[in-house]
Amino acid sequence: MVSSTAIDTAKKRMRFVLILSVTLLVIILARLVWVQGINAATVANAAQQNREREEVIAPTRGSIEDRNGTILAVSVDRYDLVIDQREQDDDIRRAKRDGSNGHERISWDQAIQELADALDQDPNELATKVRPQDDAKPKGYVVIAKSVTPEVRNEVREIGIPRLSSLLRSERQYPQGVIAGPLLGFVRNSEDQTSVVGAEGLELSQEDHLAGTAGSRKYEISADGVRIPVTEVEETPAVNGQDVLLTIDSDINYVAQRAAEKKQAQFNAEWVSVVVEEVKTGKILAIGDSAELDPNDPGATAPEFRRSTSITRAFEPGSTGKAPIFAAALDQGVVKATDEFTVPNKKTFTKETINDSLEHSTYDMTVAGIFARSYNTGTVMVGNKMSKQTRYDYMRAFGLGTPIQVGLNGASAGQLAKPANWDRRQQYTTMFGQGYSQTVLHTASIFQTIANGGVRLSPSLIEGYRNEDGSVTKIPDPEKKRVIKESTSKEMLKIMESVVDYGTGYKEAIPGYRVGGKTGTGQAASAKGYDGYTYSFAGVAPLEDPQFVVVATMYRPKGNWKDFSVADTFTDVMSHTLNTFNVPPSTTKSEAYDVFVGKEQKKSW
């Protein structure tokens, strides 16, 4: 017989269990009310977020093309293949690859062999990446291959390996190699390593046009991380970058580069630069630098030459700097081309003695002759007909002392002090290209102005931008500024023709064409003082209807100074440019002025 004490104990236990059960039911009911009623929206939203995934859709970076449509820089789609080694089954279930319906099961060994064939990799090495080896812990992210083509990526996807995914990478390629390399620049990986961004040159300065705008794609996934195919996809398309269209002619640029490289090697110069500019448009057809930059491998080029020396390096130009002074004197009417001066080899002006580079007899010369033979003493006589301020104003009007912006970073303004700051000697040396500095592009712009009827056009490198729909957005027309009168321009062309016909530029003549220009030899300055030279020639052709300016500059050559010359560099590039544009030979006769007073024109140097 059960005691009353045992019965009471059993009742207490049952009562406790009942109370506990009711309490648990109340808690569960309260939770259900909270989840399904009061907090239903929050819970549903959290579940939705757990299922949702968002991908960034990378835009395609715009290409860079020359004036003829030749591609200089282009982006291509490449993929990194990665795999998640976790939760792998013993075999693989995939759709049949013979085109029939249904599925088939294959071993991992077969899948790895097919993957090795597609990637051209060793299957044994590949197996260590695809599956954890021995007792190794499975990894969630293992790179199988990098930078594979879309075709290879599609072939790999058909193998059906689970948890193997592809990550889109944009790869920049430069099909023309080193052609215009310092202008194009190069790219670097973005911070998130998913794309590239401009690091130098046009790639950097035109980043806003080239980059485009990223898009996005939202979709739902199942618990195993696979996209649920029947769910809705929310997508914001990417906007691809614009194509940058250049004024450069890659064929002419190739010739300019090779000519610069040849001259640099001949005299072991620090650098050589060649610029080709259209007279009537200001468009730059070529910038050839002797230091090659392959944008596919920028690290192979020294940092100081990863930008174009034509734009970034300022130097004292020497006698090419006489052109603005003579143009100003003619324009002001203080001299005429045929005015006569007695020109010694050495002359003192207010206690400053000016010498010519080579000793010569005292000659009775024309203004044109002084320019043709490039005598410093005669140049100062001509320049002294004007005030310092007038000379300075013309130099500024020709663009000196201001950086030339053509869409590239690092453009140098050079140095041009105000007349009030010129010292006793500088007031004279600035007449013949010393005491201030400019770039090769400044030189080209000066002679473009003289040849274009006296109207300066801001040099341009970018033609426009091609949009995704194929339309082209043209850049505004270049700024026009009249610097000298049209009559002055015509006189200067005749004087420049005297340089080639009778003066220092006789080696720059091109058979069949009327050519004018100016030679230049300037002292190169350093922290130690003047300890080198710069040699230049700036030329225009054909003079009866000027089309092109070519400037060749060689900085700090080594060897015998008597051998230094950029004549063949100029003639090679100008001849090729004239032929490329089918410019017919000149049919008019030379209008060069006499160099000396009187009938005798052949006198010793």
pLDDT, mean of residues 517-546? 94
Distances in Å between the Cα of 585 and the Cα atoms of 417, 464, 513, 591 are: 43, 32, 5, 16
Share of residues in the chain with pLDDT > 70 (%): 92
pLDDT, mean of residues 306-335? 97
Q: What burial class does residue 54 get, using C-beta atoms within 10 Å of its C-beta: 0-12 exposed, 13-18 middle, 19+ buried? A: exposed
- Concatenate the DSSP letters of all residues of 528-554 into one string: TEEEEEEEEEEEEE-TTS--EEEEEEE
For 14, how many CA atoms within 13 A lie in the half-sphere containing its CB? 6
Cα gap 347→404, rounded to integer Å: 36
- 224 pLDDT band, cuts 50/70/90, is very low
Nearest to 197 by CA among 205, 187, 206: 187
Give the per-residue pLDDT at 42.
60
pLDDT, mean of residues 379-405? 98
Cα gap 88→86, rounded to integer Å: 6
Distances in Å between the Cα of 533 and the Cα atoms of 79, 319, 482, 505, 554 are: 52, 12, 32, 18, 9
Q: Which residues contact 436 (CB under 8 A, 6 or more apart)?
A: 316, 321, 395, 400, 401, 414, 415, 416, 417, 430
pLDDT tens string 65-89 = 999 999 999 998 888 899 988 888 8
Q: Which residues contact 414 (CB under 8 A, 6 or more apart)?
A: 314, 400, 401, 436, 437, 438, 439, 442
The answer to whether residue 286 scores a pLDDT higher than 90 is yes
The answer to whether residue 101 scores a pLDDT higher than 90 is no
Element (H, E) at 46: helix 40-51
Q: Which residues contact 7 (CB under 8 A, 6 or more apart)?
A: none
pLDDT, mean of residues 384-394? 98
Contact 205/410 with Cβ under 8 angstroms?
A: no
CA dihedral 361→364→365→370, nearest 10 degrees, is: 40
Give the per-residue pLDDT at 162.
86
Give the per-residue pLDDT at 96.
81
Give the per-residue pLDDT at 225.
47
The answer to whether residue 458 scores a pLDDT higher than 60 is yes
Q: Which of 44-53, 168-177, 318-327, 524-533 has the highest mean pLDDT?
A: 318-327
Q: What burial class does residue 280 get, using C-beta atoms within 10 Å of its C-beta: 0-12 exposed, 13-18 middle, 19+ buried? A: middle
- 560 pLDDT band, cuts 50/70/90, is confident
Nearest to 218 by CA among 383, 394, 102, 53: 53
| Paired residues of 357 in beta bridges | none
Give the per-residue pLDDT at 90.
83
Task: Please provide the average confidence, as pLDDT, over all residues in the chain.
Answer: 90
Strand stretches in 449-528, DSSP E: 455-457, 462-466, 472-474, 480-482, 516-526
**DSSP single-letter state for residue 435:** S
The answer to whether residue 57 scores a pLDDT higher than 80 is no
Q: What burial class does residue 477 get, using C-beta atoms within 10 Å of its C-beta: 0-12 exposed, 13-18 middle, 19+ buried? A: exposed
The answer to whether residue 222 scores a pLDDT higher than 60 is no
The answer to whether residue 50 scores a pLDDT higher than 70 is no
| Paired residues of 167 in beta bridges | 80
The answer to whether residue 191 scores a pLDDT higher than 90 is no
Write out the two tokens for 404: 């030339």
Residue length of the chain: 605
Residue for token pair 């005429």: 336
The answer to whether residue 35 scores a pLDDT higher than 80 is no
The answer to whether residue 219 scores a pLDDT higher than 70 is no
Give the per-residue pLDDT at 22.
79
- Concatenate the DSSP letters of all residues of 212-272 into one string: -B-EEEEEEB-TTS-B-TTS--EEE--BPPPEEEES--HHHHHHHHHHHHHHHHHHT-SEE
**Is this model's pTM higher than 0.85 or not?**
no
Handedness of CA 217, 220, 223, 228 (dihedral sign): negative
Write out the two tokens for 466: 């091609």
- Concatenate the DSSP letters of all residues of 344-400 into one string: -SEEEETTEEEE-SS----EEEEHHHHHHHT-HHHHHHHHTTS-HHHHHHHHHHTTT
Give the per-residue pLDDT at 53.
65
